[in-house]
A and B are shown apart, each in its own frame.
Chain A
Amino acid sequence: MANVTLRSVRKTYPGGFEAIKGVDVDVGDGQFCVLVGPSGCGKSTLLRMVAGLETVTGGEIDIGGRIVNQVEPADRDIAMVFQNYALYPHMSVYNNMAYGLRNRGMAEAEIKSRVEEAARVLELSPMLERKPRQLSGGQRQRVAMGRAIVRQPKVFLFDEPLSNLDAKLRIAMRVEIRKLQRRLNTTSIYVTHDQLEAMTLADILVVMNGGQVEQVGNPLAIYEKPATTFVASFIGAPPMNLMSTRPEEIKSQLGGSASDVGILGIRPEDFVITDQTPAGGVALPLTVEAIERVGAETFVYGSREQEEQRVAATPGELPPGEIIVRIPGTEAPAIGAKIRVAAVRNKLHLFSADGRKRLEA
C-alpha cells in the first residue's frame, strides 16, 4: 500500500546521453499506472530506476513517503516481473517463489503458506516441483507473477511481461493481471509498447516519448483529447489521421476561429462516407487505394488528391496524403473509386503547427 511519486526524475548516462529528461508522475495508492511509448523512449529505464536497478541522476523517487534514491532494490519493498521472466533455471517453481522470502529470513512455515496461496491463485499448484524449463511460456509468466505476489510488496513493477507470449495468451494474461491487481489492490507500474495493453490496463496512462512525458491521465481522456500529435498517433489503432491544414480548402472549411491551427487530426472511426459536408466539419475527397476487411469492420485506405506537406513524422503515423477510414461491417467502396468522407466538428482534433500543443476550438 503506497503512493509512488516521481519528482523531476532525470537519468543522464556517463557518456552524456539523457535517457530521462525530467519526469513527474504521481501514482496513487492501489492505482495501476502504465508507461507506454515507442522503443527507446525511456519507459523501461524509468521503471528500472523505480526498481533501483538504475541509478537516479536527478530528482526524487518516493515510494510510500520514503525517498528511495539511495535504497537498494531489495529494501525498496517492490517486486518486479521481467520481460523474460528471469526465473532461476535450476530451482523448482516452489523455490523460485520462496527464494526472496528465504533471503529475508522468513520462517519456513510462513513461506510455505504464502507460496501455496500464490500457487493456488495462479493455478500453479500441480507444478510446484517442476523446473522452469518444464513449463510453457504462460506458466513461466505466472511463476514470475507468483514470485512477485508472495513478497506482498508495496509496489509491483512489470517490464513488458506479456511481450513473449502469443497473441491469444497475451489477452488472457492481460485480464488476469488486471483482476489480480484489483484484488490485491497493490500499486502497480507497468511498462509496455502495446497501446492496446496500455488502454485496457491503466488507471493512469503515461505516454512517453524521447525521455519525456507527453501526456498523463485517464486512458479514455487521453484517447479523446490527445495533448500532442505524438499521443494522437500513438494511442489508437489504426492511428489518427493527421494532416496539415495548409491547403486552403481545409482551412476555409474550419472557419475563421481556427486560423492558428497547423495540424488537423481525425480518428479513422470518426469519418463517414457521405456527399454532405457537415456544418463546421471537414469533408475530403479520396481515391480508394486499399481495403482491409477484418470482419466486424473494414479499413479503407485512401489518398487525397493534392500532395501533402509532410507533418512531423512520429512512429505509427501515416505517410502524408494517406487517410484511413474505419467503417463498420464489410460493405466497402471498390478500389479506385472516388469517394468523399466527412467528419463532424466535435470529432476534429486541432494542433499547433509543431504538433506540441492541442488547440480547443
Chain B
Amino acid sequence: MVEEEGFRRYVAHIILWIGIAIVAFPVYIAIVASTQDNALIANGQMSLLPGGHFFQTYYQTIFVGTTGSTREPVGNMMLNSLITALLIAVGKIAISIISAYAIVYFRFPFRMPIFWIIFITLMLPVEVRIYPTYKIVADLHMLDSYAGLSLPLIASATATLLFRQFFMTVPDELLEASRIDGAGPFRFFWDTLLPLSRTNMAALFVILFILGWNQYLWPLLITTRDDMQTIQIGIRKMITTSDALTEWPTVMATAVLAMLPPVFVVVVMQKLFVRGLVETEK
C-alpha cells in the first residue's frame, strides 16, 4: 500500500465514504422502514430513525405474511429460496466437477466436441432458452416443485470450465503416483482430486448460492402456488397491491431478510472463498 500525503489522502477517503454511503443508505432505509408504522410511511412522514415496531413487524413478516396479494409467511418463502439455492449450488458443483473430471482425465470419442458443446452453452443463459426450457419442465410435470426450480439451472458451463482449468494445473505425476499406489479412477477422484478442489468448491459455492438465491425470472415463470414461491417473487407480489395500501414495513422487512443468507454465506465462507480465488493448494 502506498502512503499518500495529506490532501490527496483526504480526497481518496471522501470518495470512498461517498461510495459506502451510496451502497449503505438504501439498506439503512430498508432496515429503518421495517421498524416503523405503515401509516407514517404511507403519509410520507417516515423518520430516519428506527421506530418501535421491530419485533411486531418481523414476527408478522416471518410467521404470518401480508394481508394482500400473497398471504404466504416469508419464513416459508425463505425456506423455498434456501432449498432452491442450495440445490442449485450443490447440484452445479457436483455436475461440473464430474464433467470436468471426465473431460480432463479420460480419453473418449468426441471428447473435444463435447467440451465445445459445454463451452457454447455459456452463450445460452436461461433467458435465451426460456421457452423450450419451460416447455420441457412443464411436460415433465415439474412446475411448482423444487426440481423444476433448480434442475434447469444446474448444468453450468462456467463451473465446468473453472474445474477444468484447476484440474489442468494438478501435476500429472499425482495421477501417475496414484496409479502406482493402486488407486483407480474413482479413488483418485475421491481421495486426491476432491480434497485438492476444496477451496475452489467453496469459492464456487459462494458465487452459485448467491446466484441461485437471487433467481427471479425463472421462479416467476414456473411457480404459481403461493407456498412454492421464492422470497424474490414474494417481495414483488407484496409491493403490487390493487386496492389496498402496500404494507411497506413488511416489504422492507422481507427485503432485509432476503439479504441475510447471502451475507451469512459470504461472511462464513469468505476465508475459503479468497483462498480459492488466489491460491491453489500445492
Binding site for B on A (CB under 8 A): 51-53, 72-74, 78-80, 82-90, 99-100, 103-104, 133, 147
Minimum-distance CB pairs A-B, first 4: A100-B181, A86-B173, A74-B182, A103-B182
Measured CB to CB, the nearest residue on chain B to A82 is B173
Q: Is B257 an interface residue (CB 8 A)?
A: no
Flag if A80 contacts B180 (CB, 8 Å): yes
Flag if B191 contacts A99 (CB, 8 Å): yes
Given the interface pairs A90-B196, A90-B281, A103-B187, the reply to whether A74 lies near B173 with Cβ below 8 Å is: no
Q: Which residues of B contact A83 (CB under 8 A)?
A: 173
Complex: A85 Cα to B282 Cα, angstroms: 12
Measured CB to CB, the nearest residue on chain A to B195 is A90
Binding site for A on B (CB under 8 A): 171, 173-174, 176-177, 179-183, 187, 191-192, 195-196, 198, 281-282
Given the interface pairs A103-B181, A103-B187, the reply to whether A89 lies near B281 with Cβ below 8 Å is: yes
Flag if A88 contacts B192 (CB, 8 Å): yes
Complex: A88 Cα to B282 Cα, angstroms: 9
Flag if B173 contacts A100 (CB, 8 Å): no
Q: Which residues of B contact A86 (CB under 8 A)?
A: 171, 173-174, 176-177
Complex: A234 Cα to B241 Cα, angstroms: 89
Flag if B195 contacts A82 (CB, 8 Å): no
Count A-B pairs with CB separation below 8 Å. Answer: 61
Given the interface pairs A86-B171, A89-B281, the reply to whether A99 lies near B180 with Cβ below 8 Å is: no
Q: Which residues of B contact A51 (CB under 8 A)?
A: 176, 180
Complex: A72 Cα to B184 Cα, angstroms: 10
Smallest distance from the beta carbon of A45 to chain B beta carbons, Å?
13
Residue in B179, B198, B281 whose beta carbon sits within 8 Å of that of A74 in the complex = B179
Task: Give the dominant DSSP class at B's interface.
Answer: helix
**13 residue pairs from A and B, CB less than 8 Å apart:** A52-B179, A73-B180, A74-B179, A74-B183, A86-B173, A86-B174, A89-B196, A89-B281, A90-B195, A99-B191, A103-B181, A103-B187, A104-B182
Flag if B177 contacts A82 (CB, 8 Å): yes
Smallest distance from the beta carbon of B218 to chain A beta carbons, Å?
37
Smallest distance from the beta carbon of B208 to chain A beta carbons, Å?
23
Residue in B171, B179, B196, B282 whose beta carbon sits within 8 Å of that of A73 in the complex = B179
Smallest distance from the beta carbon of B200 to chain A beta carbons, Å?
13
Task: Give the dominant DSSP class at A's interface.
Answer: loop
Smallest distance from the beta carbon of A337 to chain B beta carbons, Å?
52
Supplied contacts A73-B180, A85-B173, A90-B195, 9 more A-B pairs, CB within 8 Å: A51-B180, A53-B179, A74-B179, A79-B180, A86-B177, A88-B174, A88-B177, A90-B192, A147-B177
Measured CB to CB, the nearest residue on chain B to A131 is B281
Complex: A100 Cα to B195 Cα, angstroms: 17
Complex: A103 Cα to B177 Cα, angstroms: 12
Flag if A78 contacts B187 (CB, 8 Å): no
Given the interface pairs A90-B195, A90-B281, the reply to whether A99 lies near B181 with Cβ below 8 Å is: yes
Flag if B177 contacts A80 (CB, 8 Å): yes
Q: Which residues of B contact A100 (CB under 8 A)?
A: 180-182
Q: Which residues of B contact A133 (CB under 8 A)?
A: 281-282
Measured CB to CB, the nearest residue on chain A to B282 is A89
Smallest distance from the beta carbon of B66 to chain A beta carbons, Å?
50
Measured CB to CB, the nearest residue on chain A to B179 is A73
Q: Which residues of B contact A87 (CB under 8 A)?
A: 177
Smallest distance from the beta carbon of B232 to chain A beta carbons, Å?
38
Q: Which residues of A contact B176 (CB under 8 A)?
A: 51, 53, 73, 80, 82, 86
Smallest distance from the beta carbon of A210 to chain B beta carbons, Å?
24
Q: Which residues of B contact A147 (CB under 8 A)?
A: 177, 181
Q: Which residues of B contact A85 (CB under 8 A)?
A: 173
Q: Which residues of A contact B282 (CB under 8 A)?
A: 89, 133
Complex: A52 Cα to B174 Cα, angstroms: 15
Smallest distance from the beta carbon of A68 to chain B beta carbons, Å?
13
Measured CB to CB, the nearest residue on chain A to B280 is A89
Flag if B180 contacts A78 (CB, 8 Å): yes
Measured CB to CB, the nearest residue on chain A to B281 is A89
Smallest distance from the beta carbon of B25 to chain A beta carbons, Å?
45
Q: Which residues of A contact B171 (CB under 8 A)?
A: 84, 86
Complex: A280 Cα to B282 Cα, angstroms: 62
Complex: A97 Cα to B174 Cα, angstroms: 14
Complex: A99 Cα to B191 Cα, angstroms: 9
Q: Which residues of A contact B174 (CB under 8 A)?
A: 86, 88
Measured CB to CB, the nearest residue on chain A to B173 is A86
Complex: A218 Cα to B173 Cα, angstroms: 31
Smallest distance from the beta carbon of A63 to chain B beta carbons, Å?
13
Complex: A87 Cα to B281 Cα, angstroms: 12
Smallest distance from the beta carbon of A83 to chain B beta carbons, Å?
8
Q: Which residues of A contact B198 (CB under 8 A)?
A: 90
Q: Which residues of B contact A88 (CB under 8 A)?
A: 174, 177, 191-192
Smallest distance from the beta carbon of B196 to chain A beta carbons, Å?
6
Interface centre among B177, B179, B191, B196 (most CB of A within 10 A): B177
Complex: A89 Cα to B194 Cα, angstroms: 12
Interface centre among A73, A86, A103 (most CB of B within 10 A): A86
Flag if B173 contacts A84 (CB, 8 Å): yes
Flag if A74 contacts B180 (CB, 8 Å): yes
Q: Which residues of A contact B192 (CB under 8 A)?
A: 88, 90
Complex: A72 Cα to B180 Cα, angstroms: 8
